[in-house]
Amino acid sequence: MAPLISVIIPCFNAQDYLEETIESVLKQTYSNFEVLVIDDGSTDDSVEKLENFKDDITLIKQSNQGVSAARNNGVEHAKGQWVSFLDADDIWFPNKLEVQMENIKDNVWSHTNSIYFGENQKGDVTRQDLTPQYSGMVFKKLIINNFITTSSVLIRKDVFKDSGGFDESLSALEDWKLWASLSKMYYLKYQETPLMKYRVYNFSTSRNARKILPIHCKVIGHIFDTICTTDPLYKYRKEALSESYFICSYIAEESSDFSFSFFCSLRSYYFQPLKFKAFKRVLSSFKNLITSNFK
């Protein structure tokens, strides 16, 4: 019999998207899975929506503790040898689990390409189009930029638990911290075919540059002060900081926060003055700042 996969869906006030998300799991061509929905103290109608799936899911309720605690709680209740994470607003394609299980072979975790959809998205851009995706021993790549989409990850449960799980003290980027630790020890498989859709919001924490930047710096500090302390890869700390400021410059620009976008671009260039893309970002963000002041 095919191994049991435990699908972990953390949920907080996701009434508008939750049903479509769960249906995308129930339509999987891989048949041996269980669905665990962890309601993180929702105050909307999410729990009521879940009543429609009471025969197909296991509902676990907890007080509001954040997405990391919800995912960790789900893994504690999981019966499967494997776990796969799915945010309550993302969508899997029907063959997602089947393709991953066929291709993971002797490895312990994998991720896939995804398609962006949602606000200001046409639905034709993939994660790989914007951020290079990697397979193999990817520690060096991952400490510079988090290229893994959590809703695409399939991982052996014992490996996840041995890693300590998601850091519940972080309000974002908890996945990056965990993936960095795992990537130093384990080979990562990658499926280039998009197997899921990642929903984008303009006002989510990950799309708020002023909120997400300090968390970027905190995670980078953890990676290089605890994982890479004596590692020759410590020299990549400046590149990681440059990349984070570069990303936050674009995020700030998307929300028309042009002054912060320019600040982030300057910091990105400061850490990597020989990178042409950082220089171009400074010019572009400065132009947008000046233009916005004359409107």
**In three state form, how does the secondary structure of the chain look?**
CCCCEEEEEEECCCCCCHHHHHHHHHCCCCCCEEEEEEEECCCCCHHHHHHHHCCCCEEEEECCCCHHHHHHHHHHHCCCCEEEECCCCCEECCCHHHHHHHHHCCCCEEEEEEEEEECCCCCCCEHHHHCCCCCECCHHHHCCCCCCCHHHCEEEHHHHHHCCCCCCCCCCCHHHHHHHHHHCCCCEEEEEEEEEEEEECCCCHHHCHHHHHHHHHHHHHHHHHHHCCCCHHHHHHHHHHHHHHHHHHHHHHHCCCHHHHHHHHHHHHHHCCCCHHHHHHHHHHHHHHHHHHCC
Residue 81 φ then ψ, to 5°: -75, -25
Please give the distance of CA 262 from its chain centroid, rounded to a whole number: 25
Q: For residue range 209-223, what is the model confidence (pLDDT) as tens digits?
A: 999 999 999 999 999
Range scoring the smallest mean pLDDT among 70-79, 159-168, 200-209, 236-245:
200-209
Please give the distance of CA 232 from its chain centroid, rounded to a whole number: 27
Q: For residue range 226-277, what is the model confidence (pLDDT) as tens digits?
A: 888 777 888 899 999 999 999 999 999 988 999 999 999 999 999 999 999 9
* Partners of 34 in beta bridges: 6
Is 117's pLDDT higher than 80? yes
Average pLDDT of every residue of the chain: 94
What are the Cα distances from residue 135, in Å, to 114, 148, 172, 241, 255?
A: 15, 11, 24, 23, 32
Please give the single-letter amino acid code of residue 34.
E
Residue 202 binned pLDDT confidence (cut-offs 50, 70, 90): low
Range scoring the smallest mean pLDDT among 112-116, 121-125, 213-217, 284-288:
121-125
Q: What is the pLDDT of residue 203?
A: 59
* Exposed e or buried b per residue across 37-63, where buried means at least 16 C-beta atoms within 10 angstroms of its C-beta: bbbbebeeebbebbeebeeebeebeee
Instruction: Give residue limits of the domains in the chain.
Output: 5-201, 206-293
Handedness of CA 178, 183, 189, 194 (dihedral sign): positive
**In CATH, which superfamily holds the domain spanning 5-201?**
Spore Coat Polysaccharide Biosynthesis Protein SpsA; Chain A (3.90.550.10)
Is 101's pLDDT higher than 90? yes
Q: For residue range 11-36, what is the model confidence (pLDDT) as tens digits?
A: 999 999 999 999 999 999 999 999 99
The pair of structure tokens assigned to 169 is 């003290």
Percent of the chain with pLDDT over 70: 97
Q: What is the pLDDT of residue 255?
A: 87
Q: What is the pTM of this model?
A: 0.92
Is 205's pLDDT higher than 90? no
- What's the rounded Cα separation, in Å, for the pair 148 and 85? 12
Counting every residue, how long is the chain? 295
Q: Does domain 206-293 have CATH number 1.25.40?
A: yes
Q: For residue range 119-154, what is the model confidence (pLDDT) as tens digits?
A: 777 778 999 998 999 999 999 999 999 999 999 999
Q: What is the pLDDT of residue 235?
A: 86
